[in-house]
Chain A
Amino acid sequence: MWQQVNSALSESAHRVLFNLASFLPGLVALLVAVLLLTLIGSGLAALLRRVLVAVKFDERLSRNQAAAAISNIQEWSPAHSPTVLVTRVVFWGCVLLGVIVGISAFNASYSDNSNISVFILPYLTHSVGAVILLLIGNLIARFLSRSVLIGAVNARLQYARFLSLGVKWLVLVLTAAMVLDHLQIGGTVVDLAFGILFGGIVLTLSLAIGLGSRDLVSRSIEKSTTDGPVTYDPPPSPEAPRPPTPIDTLRHF
């Protein structure tokens, strides 16, 4: 019996070591490919930077192209320099090429029926996708949150911060649900939880805005049903929208 256990263990160890042995070259190939192409990329970028600086690329571009096009390029350029933009594109292009070559080498080092390859590679791809989703979701949440906050403050809404937080968490919850779904974690539980949470936030915001702005809504309906001028009653609460103020009668322009 001990002999059989010993045999089973040694076979298992052999299989794991074999898999590891076949896994390591692929990993090394991936790292080498990424490193090598990163080096090539940085060399190319440095060379390109020197050439573009020598030919005064930025100045030529600003002289020859339309102001709008220049403005667009500069908006996307780090440090507002098209030269830097070009060199960075070249550098990151090489890095990306290295990753693609490395992953191909990594994949090629396995046979098609390898369990690790079948399991890890799709999951790795999904993980990268999930990380990108998370980053984009966070960026969008922050952007929308600020947009709503500034817009609401300029519209003089007292609940501006609450509105902004609501929008931020709506987007974050949506992002989290998408990430979990992308990673295939949780299954229907995530869908269900997301539906409840999202619906809850929307309902809360609707109630808050609806109750806070009921006067505005009623006036809006009144305005749409009557052709005459809308009369402004005194606001019943500090949350209610204001009547025309001297700010509006000032001539700013």
Chain B
Amino acid sequence: MALTPSNVDATTDSPANAAEPAKAASIAPDTAGTLLIGLTSLPPEALEATLTNLALAFSAPTSGQSGNRNILVTTPDAGNPILTGGSFGNLRLIPYTAATPAVGALYLTAADYLNTFKVAQEHKVTACILLGPESQSLTPVSIRALASALMDPTGKAPTDLAVPRYNLGPHEGLVNSAILYPVTRTLYGAQPRYPLAIDLGLSLRMAERLAAIAQTFTAAGQNDAILWPVAEAAAANFVITEVDSGPRSLPQPASIDLNALLAQVAGSFFNDINLKASFWQRVRTIQPLREVSMLRAPAEGWPDVTPMLAAFQLAYTNLHEIWALVLPPNSLLGLKRLSQMPVTSFRMSDALWIRIVYDFVLAHRLRTINRGHLLGALTPLYLAWVASHIILAESGTAPEQHIEELATNFENDKAYLVSRWRWPDRFNP
């Protein structure tokens, strides 16, 4: 599917525009083989730091890659004084005013994909790198690694989707560890540890595919819709590469409303699973075990799990009837046992968590109860998993090892999901 300028909402300021900085005027459209780096809106200091890192990343030639490659950097912060005043090596800056403004601050949104592809199409680039919020925390080395994965010395794109693997602490990115990573790996046979990574490398055809999907959302006014690039790439049989990106500061929501955020992310994820059902039911891949990092206790110590367990206990006494509409008796029995466990030995088995996630995916598809209620009822169960995960880590198990085992168990139990997806009315003890 090709996007034409007429059906893409984003607009790039032409060089003739008065607001356009003078640098942009020098950009010729015949820049084949160039790399486009799309930035999200950043505060002035963060933008300056990011541009400095980008300049460092692409300043000197490294083995197999030209340091003089054309690097275009787009940013929606057209009015930022740094863009007119600063000099950033061989980077060519293309500030633009997005006609489809991105409103999300935590993830790459539909508007980000669409705006970047529009610019990429106009400048005929070979590949794009999208850097999400707080991209100033990415090191030049990790940016360079992302670019290297995306473009070989001949200027072609050997991979369609380069996904960074962040080096996060053991109590960061927990939704990703509990749901997104294991389920994505199981359903789509894709290895990336962070399926909802906020920095991505895209080949032009991958960017086009994502922009086409993004456009369906933006046309419906959902500029902040979350897209699932790994699932898209897997469904299109594109090449996916994971790149080690080291530590990275992830943006955190201004207000702590776990319930709303979990509902937003899990709702979008479950919807995507529903849309790709015909694809993932055919996937039978079991990923090899990957090497896991050693146990790294957080500097500030392990968090206290008591409030999380209290939240679960409260939910168990109040939400049992709602869970009973979604979960089979066996899982309810597991939850009952869990509610009676003392804090010290609290452990949610992988099998129970897997069935909970699968049954919630199914209930989301079947609309067993209102979807908002369903995702709200998932929150306390997720907190119970987090508490169990932390207790396990405190006892000496490496968190990454637990997550890898969980993902493998998800894969082994995939038949349950496929079977219930196809025959939801079958007896399920």
Residues of A within 8 A of B (CB): 66-69, 71, 75, 80, 143, 146-147, 149-154, 156, 158, 160-161, 242, 245-253
Contact present for A253 and B373 (CB under 8 Å): no
Q: Is the CB of B376 within 8 A of A67?
A: no
> A31 to chain B: closest CB distance in Å?
35
Task: Please report B residues at the A interface, Cβ cutoff 8 Å.
Answer: 106, 168-169, 171-176, 213, 216-217, 219-220, 222, 250, 252-253, 256, 258-259, 261-262, 265, 271, 275, 303-305, 307-308, 310-311, 314-315, 317-319, 322, 365, 367, 369-370, 372-373, 376-377, 379-380, 383, 386
* Complex A-B: 15 CB contacts under 8 Å: A66-B219, A67-B220, A69-B220, A151-B259, A153-B318, A154-B380, A245-B307, A247-B307, A248-B256, A250-B386, A252-B174, A253-B106, A253-B173, A253-B176, A253-B252
Given contacts A242-B307, A247-B311, A247-B383, contact A150 B174 (CB under 8 A): no
With A147-B373, A253-B175: A68-B258 Cβ-Cβ less than 8 Å: no
Measured CB to CB, the closest approach of chain A to B223, in angstroms, equals 12
Decide if A150 touches B219 in the complex (CB within 8 Å). no
- Please report the C-alpha to C-alpha distance between residue A146 and residue B307 in the assembled complex, in whole angstroms: 23
B258 and A247 form a contact (CB under 8 A): yes
Whether the pair B308, A251 counts as a contact (CB closer than 8 A) is no
Partner of B310, one of A66, A71, A156, A252: A156
Q: How far is the CB of B134 from chain A (nearest CB, A)?
A: 12
Q: Report yes or no: B275 in contact with A154, Cβ–Cβ below 8 A.
A: no
B251 (CB) vs chain A CBs: closest residue: A253
Residues of chain A within 8 A (CB-CB) of B259 are 151, 154
Indicate if the CB atoms of B372 and A147 lie closer than 8 Å.
yes
Contact (Cβ within 8 A) B318 A71: no
Q: Smallest CB–CB gap between B207 and chain A, Å?
A: 18
A67-B216, A154-B379 known; A146 vs B106 contact (CB < 8 Å): no
Secondary structure of the B contact surface, majority rule: helix
Residues of the B chain whose Cβ atoms lie less than 8 Å from the Cβ of A156: 307, 310-311, 314
> Is A67 a contact partner of B213 (Cβ separation < 8 A)?
yes
Excluding A68-B217, A251-B250, 9 further A-B contacts by CB distance (< 8 Å) are A66-B219, A69-B220, A146-B369, A158-B314, A247-B307, A250-B171, A251-B172, A251-B173, A253-B175
Q: Are A253 and B250 in contact (CB under 8 A)?
A: yes
B residues in contact with A66, CB < 8 Å: 216, 219-220
A68 touches B216 (CB 8 A): yes
- When the two chains form their complex, are residues A146 and B322 in contact, meaning their CB atoms are under 8 A apart? yes
The 10 closest A-B pairs by CB, nearest first: A68-B220, A246-B303, A150-B376, A245-B307, A67-B216, A251-B172, A66-B216, A154-B259, A246-B304, A252-B174
- Max count, chain B CB within 10 A of own CB: residue among A68, A80, A154, A158: A154
Chain B residue numbers with a CB within 8 Å of A146 are 322, 369-370, 373
Q: Is the interface of A mostly helix, strand, loop or mixed?
A: helix
A66 to B175, CA, bound (A): 29
Task: Find the A residue at minimum CB distance from B180.
Answer: A253
A150 touches B253 (CB 8 A): no
Contacts of B304 in A (CB 8 A): 245-246
A251/B174 in contact, CB under 8 A: yes
Specify the chain B residue showing the minimal Cβ separation from A157: B314
Q: Which of B173, B317, B370 contacts A143 (CB 8 A)?
A: B370
Q: Which residues of B contact A149 (CB under 8 A)?
A: 318-319, 322
Chain B residues with Cβ under 8 A from A249's Cβ? 303
Closest CB-CB distance, A229 to chain B, in whole Å?
A: 16
Bound-complex Cα distance A153 to B380 (A): 8
- Could you tell me the distance between the alpha carbons of A143 and B372 in the complex, rounded to whole angstroms? 11
CB of A159, distance to nearest CB on chain B (Å):
10
A153-B314, A154-B380 are known contacts. Are A252 and B373 too (CB-CB below 8 A)? Answer: no
A67 to B216: give the CA distance in the assembly, Å: 6
A252 touching B262 by the CB < 8 A rule?
A: yes
Task: Give the Cβ gap from B44 to chain A, nearest Cβ, in Å.
Answer: 25
Q: Which residues of A contact B317 (CB under 8 A)?
A: 161
Give complex CA distance A253, B386 in Å.
13
* Min distance, Cβ B282 to any Cβ of chain A, angstroms: 17
Residues of chain A lying within 8 A (CB to CB) of residue B318: 149, 152-153, 160-161
Please indicate which of the listed interface residues A68, A160, A252 has the most CB atoms of chain B within 10 Å of its own CB: A252
Q: Are B216 and A253 in contact (CB under 8 A)?
A: no
8 Å CB contact of B319 from A67, A71, A153, A251 = A153
What is the distance, in angstroms, from A250's C-beta to the closest C-beta of chain B?
Answer: 5
Q: Which B residues lie within 8 Å of A248 (CB)?
A: 256
Are A252's CB and B216's CB within 8 A?
A: no
In whole Å, how far is A73's beta carbon from the nearest beta carbon of chain B?
A: 12
| Complex CA–CA separation, A68 to B303 (angstroms) | 40
Pick from A149, A158, A161, A253 the residue with the most CB of B within 10 Å.
Answer: A253
User: A252 to B174, alpha carbons, bound, how many Å?
Assistant: 5
Tell me, in angstroms, the Cα distance from A249 to B365 when the chains sit together: 32
- Cα A159 to Cα B222 in complex, Å, equals 36
Q: For the complex, what is the distance from the CA of A150 to the CA of B380, rounded to whole Å?
A: 10
Query: Within the assembled complex, what's the spacing in Å between the Cα atoms of A245 and B317?
Result: 21
Collect the chain A residues with CB atoms within 8 Å of residue B308's CB: 246-247
**Contact A153 B315, beta carbon cutoff 8 Å:** yes
In angstroms, how far is the closest chain A Cβ from the Cβ of B49? 21
Smallest distance from the beta carbon of A65 to chain B beta carbons, Å? Answer: 8
Cα–Cα, bound, A115→B319 (Å): 54
A250 to B250, CA, bound (A): 12
CB B52 to nearest CB in A, in angstroms, measures: 26
Contact assessment for A68 and B222 in the assembled complex, using a CB-CB cutoff below 8 Å:
yes
Chain A residues with CB under 8 Å of B219's CB are 66, 68
Beta-carbon contact of A246 and B307 below 8 Å: yes
CA distance A152 to B176 in the complex (A): 25
Is A150 a contact of B373 with CB atoms below 8 Å? Answer: yes
**B386 contacts which chain A residues (CB < 8 A)?**
250, 252
Query: Which of A146, A246, A249 lies at the interface centre, i.e. has the most chain B CB atoms within 10 A of its CB?
Result: A246
Residues of B within 8 Å of A246, CB to CB, are 303-305, 307-308
